[in-house]
Amino acid sequence: MEKTHSEALYKEACEHIVGGVNSPSRSFKGVGGGTPIFMEKGEGAYFYDVDGNKYIDYLGAYGPIITGHAHPHITRAITNAAHNGTLYGTPTKLESQFAMMLKNSIPSLEKVRFVNSGTEAVMTTIRVARAYTGRTKVIKFAGCYHGHSDLVLVAAGSGPSTLGSPDSAGVTKNIAEEVITVPFNDPENLKKALDKWGNEVAAVLVEPIVGNFGIVEPVPGFLETVNQLAHNAGSLVIYDEVITAFRFMYGGAQNLLGVTPDMTAMGKIIGGGLPIGAYGGRIDIMENVAPLGPAYQAGTMSGNPASISAGIACLEVLQEEGVYEKLDYLGSRLEDGLNNIIKNHTVPATVNRLKGALTLYFTSQKVQNYDDADNSNDVLFSKFFKKMLNQGINLAPSKYEAWFITTAHEEKDIEETLKAAEKAFDEIEKE
């Protein structure tokens, strides 16, 4: 596969941009190095790079692109919004319209606030939980990534663990000491932590379905136990639904699983591909936020008409009949196909899938927590990733990420992907 233009652009980017990328997960450090491909155009399920190569895309921009690239309804909404001015700094009708859409689909959001990224959304839920409870500590689960604010860059997964530095330099010891980390899917350890520090814990923060050490579902009863233990200790429960909101159904993972947090952070899909974040929850908690309450949070870009219009348009597409059934169906085809390939090869691998999202781990063990994912084989993943890329299949360059199917993918794309995966496994087995 021709890469000369990507190589030249990467070289140039490295001269001007730190590491040549504007988010570390875009580098190929997690797959043993190499030149990231510079994409030029996205259309539906496909990407076209600067060297004229075509790819089937499963990166989905790390989650937001659930309707495929450049969906016409969303593109129209963005251009219409731009014609009326991209940023006002005043309230607009659109913001309430979108807030209502979110509230109607995720009932625990009694009040919401729009911000500009998942990082901001999670960071603020923690501040508000601290304001509400008067406590300082936060419990999070090992390997869950909650953005790059100081407090949650402790034992974070996704980008940070790919780079082998779970604790970022520049995050002070004092801050890290406010965070207690326990393994996901392990109620016993959560109980121990709350028995010890319970009266200091403002919130237990959790991805209700993990997306950041691959797709990992909670074991039955786990989230109910999180609620019970946290509430018994007087702590709040915050769901980080930045990946999961509108990913698996029209609504949140909380709707799918029948569990209710006190606060929720969102992002990605709800911006239809433009920058956004949102947080919300119980009225008595949310009323602590400025201008009503003492917890300060603000944003020049927050609720801008372009992002809100894109978000509304994206949710409108997701309301169409059969959308989530299609994602689930294509997900099951991909999972079955991969499992068949695994069965016919000696390469150790396992698939975790929920509806239109899955992760292929190079391990024969079940993956239920971060250590399981971390123990999967880096070298095999790197080989697989590069072999898929060379056959025109774009995956995330990290063993900790998910493959996201979009409404634009079709059965023929899945078949082509499986053909490429079969060839990759054949070659890896022979090496």
Q: Name the segment binding ligand PMP (CB under 6 A); options: 79-87, 98-106, 239-247, 311-319.
A: 239-247
Does position 24 bind ligand PMP by CB under 6 A? no
Which one of residues 49, 57, 207, 372 is an interface residue with ligand PMP (CB under 6 A)? 207
| Listed residue (66, 10, 7, 34) closest to 383, CA to CA | 34
Does position 146 bind ligand PMP by CB under 6 A? yes
Which one of residues 242, 245, 315, 393 is an interface residue with ligand PMP (CB under 6 A)? 242
Q: Which residue is nearest to ligand PMP (CB)?
A: 118
Does position 229 bind ligand PMP by CB under 6 A? no
Instruction: Please say whether the beta carbons of 405 and 357 come within 8 A.
Output: yes
DSSP-based three-state secondary structure for 234: coil
Does position 147 bind ligand PMP by CB under 6 A? yes
- Cβ proximity to ligand PMP, 207 vs 413, nearer residue: 207
Q: Give the DSSP per-residue string, 11-40.
A: HHHHHHSGGGSSSGGGSSGGGT--PPP-EE
Lay out the site mask for ligand PMP across 83-122 (x = CB under 6 A, - = otherwise). ----------------------------------xxx--x
DSSP-based three-state secondary structure for 387: helix
Binding to ligand PMP, residues 56-75 (CB under 6 A): 62
Q: Give the DSSP per-residue string, 169-215.
A: TTS-HHHHTTEEEE-TT-HHHHHHHHHHHGGGEEEEEE-SSB-BTB-
Instruction: Please say whether the beta carbons of 296 and 290 come within 8 A.
Output: yes
Q: Name the segment binding ligand PMP (CB under 6 A); options: 51-59, 144-152, 176-184, 290-298.
A: 144-152
My answer on whether omega of the bond before 291 falls inside 30° of 0, hence cis, is yes
Which one of residues 24, 42, 267, 272 is an interface residue with ligand PMP (CB under 6 A)? 267
- Cβ proximity to ligand PMP, 121 vs 285, nearer residue: 121
Tell me how far CA of residue 382 lies from CA of 111, 295, 345, 392, 428, in angstroms: 43, 44, 18, 15, 11
Catalytic residue list: 145, 240, 268
Does position 208 bind ligand PMP by CB under 6 A? no
| Listed residue (330, 285, 354, 317) closest to 125, CA to CA | 285
Residue 323: φ, ψ to 5° = -60, -55
DSSP-based three-state secondary structure for 88: coil
Lay out the site mask for ligand PMP across 396-425 (x = CB under 6 A, - = otherwise). ------------------------------
Does position 217 bind ligand PMP by CB under 6 A? no
- Site residues for ligand PMP per CB under 6 A: 62, 117-119, 122, 145-147, 158, 207, 211-212, 240, 242-243, 267
